[in-house]
């Protein structure tokens, strides 16, 4: 493991870059937003490449990043109307996605500087204290995320406690392109999801409350399917999102397979395991070419895919969804594993 000062924020706070390595993986993480800045993995020929999108400097992460590799929070995903009711009290949140709150608002966890609490040869624990009332959320929240690299796996272990009832939804927002960052479209990747249903959403990307069977829809990835195969179909959900940006309900419980991504050209594979109930699939639809990566290539829609393991969006306003309430004395604990390989 190595640590060095990556840069200083516009408010004068030092940001560190932590590098972890396994026998088949090299990972770099920033204390700004807890962002996974690089993941280097080998292809079938043994050639290494960075397989996540990122930006060349801290200024980009602070002011222009669409959550590249970050840890969104306090609530990953959208909360409708920027408000929710908990134990009879209405909590108002800042809106940063039209009339909704996205990824905790404009100053969410992905925009904060985390501290390195503990580290070793192949792991590092980042910590963030979110004060009571931060971005409108109740409770002082103490969050730790441990990144561990072993062999060709990156494991994220989440841990959080609160002193007042609150809501919490954490994920990692890495943008994957297994052909290599800056290599162009990821729509030629194939995807297999362990999901029989997804959550249709309205025009503002808020779930309608329905859990819809994927059978006969462009959202059926129960067998490996090329991401671009059905993305241009006139399905209302695809048109609204300008591609894939839907939450899928995963089968089973406990730490289990959720997704498998494969790039036929390089042979790289990514297996995602999680104990979370859902996964948000996002094909980077809002990348317009305005952002340029460290390799000097402009990023465009479809150049990456996000596989965000999480709870359902807008759960605090939808009682039929799994609860995201965390109360004093309880511990939020969750694990997601990104396992890289070659075919």
Question: What residues act catalytically?
Answer: 173, 308
Look at residues 245, 248, 314, 226 and name the one whose alpha carbon lies nearest to residue 286.
Answer: 245
- CA torsion through residues 301, 24, 120, 146, sign: positive
Q: Which of 6, 18, 27 is nearest to 340 (CA)?
A: 27
How many CB atoms are closer than 10 A to CB 294? 16
Task: Identify whether the C-beta of residue 39 lies closer than 8 Å to the C-beta of residue 163.
Answer: no
Q: Encoding tokens for residue 261?
A: 């991504």
Three-state SS annotation for 293-321: CCCCCEEECCCCEEEEEECCCCHHHCCCC
- Distance (Å, rounded) from C-alpha 129 to C-alpha 119? 18
Residue 302: CA count within 13 A, CB half-sphere = 15
Distances (CA, A) of 272 to 19, 35, 49, 71: 21, 18, 19, 17
The upper half-sphere exposure of residue 258, i.e. CA atoms within 13 Å in the direction of its Cβ, equals 27
Dist. CA 22–CA 150, nearest whole Å: 5
**Per-residue CA distances from 61 to 140, 183, 299, 338 (Å):** 26, 21, 15, 23
Q: What is the C-alpha to C-alpha distance for residues 289 and 301, in angstroms, rounded to an integer?
A: 8
CA of residue 200 relative to chain centroid, distance: 19
For the CA atoms of 182, 185, 187, 188, what is the dihedral angle to 10 degrees?
-90
């Amino acid at each position: 493991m190595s640590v060095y000062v990556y840069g200083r924020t516009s408010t004068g706070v030092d940001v560190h870059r932590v590098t972890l390595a396994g026998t088949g993986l090299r990972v770099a993480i920033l204390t700004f937003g807890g962002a996974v800045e690089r993941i280097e993995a080998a292809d079938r020929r043994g050639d290494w490449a960075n397989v996540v999108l990122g930006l060349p400097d801290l200024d980009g992460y602070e002011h222009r990043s669409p959550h590249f590799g970050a840890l969104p929070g306090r609530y990953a995903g959208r909360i409708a109307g920027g408000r929710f009711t908990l134990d009879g009290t209405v909590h108002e949140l800042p809106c940063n996605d039209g009339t909704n709150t996205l990824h905790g608002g404009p100053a969410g966890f992905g925009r904060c500087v985390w501290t390195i609490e503990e580290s070793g040869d192949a792991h590092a624990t980042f910590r963030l204290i979110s004060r009571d009332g931060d971005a409108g959320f109740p409770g002082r929240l103490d969050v730790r995320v441990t990144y561990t690299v072993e062999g060709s796996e990156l494991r994220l272990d989440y841990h959080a406690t609160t002193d007042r009832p609150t809501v919490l939804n954490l994920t990692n927002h890495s943008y994957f392109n297994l052909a290599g960052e800056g290599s162009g479209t990821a729509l030629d990747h194939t995807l297999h999801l362990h999901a029989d249903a997804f959550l249709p959403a309205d025009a503002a990307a808020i779930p309608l409350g329905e859990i819809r069977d994927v059978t006969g829809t462009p959202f059926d990835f129960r067998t490996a399917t090329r991401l671009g195969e059905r993305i241009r179909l006139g399905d209302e959900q695809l048109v609204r999102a300008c591609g894939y940006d839907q939450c899928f309900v995963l089968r089973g419980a406990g730490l289990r397979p959720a997704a498998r991504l494969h790039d036929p050209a390089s042979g790289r594979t990514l297996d995602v395991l999680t104990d979370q109930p859902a996964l948000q699939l996002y094909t980077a639809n809002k990348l317009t070419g305005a952002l340029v990566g460290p390799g000097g290539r402009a990023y465009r829609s479809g150049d990456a895919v996000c596989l965000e393991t999480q709870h359902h969006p807008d759960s605090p306003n939808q009682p039929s969804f799994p609860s995201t309430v965390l109360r004093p004395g309880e511990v939020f604990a969750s694990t997601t594993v990104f396992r890289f390989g070659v075919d």
